[in-house]
Amino acid sequence: MQTSKIRLDKFLVHIGYGSRSEVQKIIKQKRVTVNSQIISKPEHSFVINDSNVYVDGKEAVYSEFYYYILNKPQGVITATEDNRHQTVLDLLDPIDKRKSLAPVGRLDKDTEGLLILTNDGKLTHELLSPKKHVNKVYYAKLSGQVTPDDVLKFATGIELSDGTKYRPAKLEIIRASDTSEVFVTISEGKFHQVKRMALSIGKEVIYLKRIKMGNLLLPEDLQLGAYRSLTSQELKKLKGEE
């Protein structure tokens, strides 16, 4: 239970109404009410749990942590800011695009699929920590015919000629022909890992999509480029509590 007081401008910045100066302007324009009173002083302090805040008649709901799941499209980079490229943060509505949000891990520019964005640093650390071995599942289209021998190589643990060593990984063949379709499960998140593992068995990744992180599946109805808040059940799955 949050009983300490917070300044109105800080509260609105946290929720996503803009920078400190932007929200101060909104407050001075008398567009904000706290417990039905118009408040025009940015420094006005109140207890979050005892208060209802409205901006332009719409409730400003506070959470300490925000968790979003995004179906990342190709062509967008996994960064928070970039001068040249569109970033995953740019896909969020302005109200959700908080400075505190960061992507959990990286997907390459040409990789699609499940990406979590959150301001919960502890969870981010737990999901990315090399010690935790959180499974990530990818669907991939590869050049060439994947063989049972390739499956064995992945299961044994691949070592590249530059000395990079990967933990044992699961390669499941969906279809193997001139090109192949596979699921790859890895428990690390090294640079270009799936692509480099595929190259080590003489195949190139033609298409890559992350479909699962921990126990959390990419929802089938989440369109490419779309995002939404995680449900509490999905959050439990991500945390490995379910």
Exposed/middle/buried for residue 98 (C-beta within 10 Å: 0-12, 13-18, 19+): middle
Give the one residue of 72, 195, 203, 209 binding ligand URA; rule: CB under 6 A: 195
**Sole window of 33-41, 121-129, 186-194, 232-240 interacting with ligand URA (rule: CB under 6 A):** 186-194
User: Candidates 9-17, 28-36, 151-159, 193-201 — which segment interacts with ligand URA by CB under 6 A?
Assistant: 193-201
Residue 108 known to be catalytic? yes
Q: What angle do CA 131, 182, 204 make, to 5 degrees?
A: 90
Specify the stretch interacting with ligand URA by CB under 6 A; choose among 40-48, 61-69, 104-112, 220-228: 104-112
Write down the least CB distance from residue 192 to ligand URA, Å: 4
- How many CA atoms, within 13 angstroms, populate the side-chain half-sphere of residue 87? 15
Structure tokens at 175: 């279809």
Instruction: Point out the catalytic residue in the list 108, 110, 149, 150.
Output: 108
**CB nearer to ligand URA: pick between 66 and 139:** 139
Sole binder of ligand URA in the list 111, 166, 234, 238 (CB under 6 A) = 111
Q: How far apart are CA 143 and CA 141, in angstroms?
A: 7
Among 102, 107, 134, 182, binds ligand URA (CB under 6 A): 107
**DSSP assignment, residue 74?**
T
108 binds ligand URA (CB under 6 A): yes
From 178, 189, 179, 174, select the one nearest 124 (Cα to Cα): 189
Please state, as a whole number, how many other Cβ atoms lie within 10 Å of the Cβ of residue 187. 15
DSSP 122: H
Kindly list the catalytic residues. Answer: 108
Q: Which spans of this chain sit near ligand URA (rule: CB under 6 A)? A: 107-108, 111, 192-195, 208
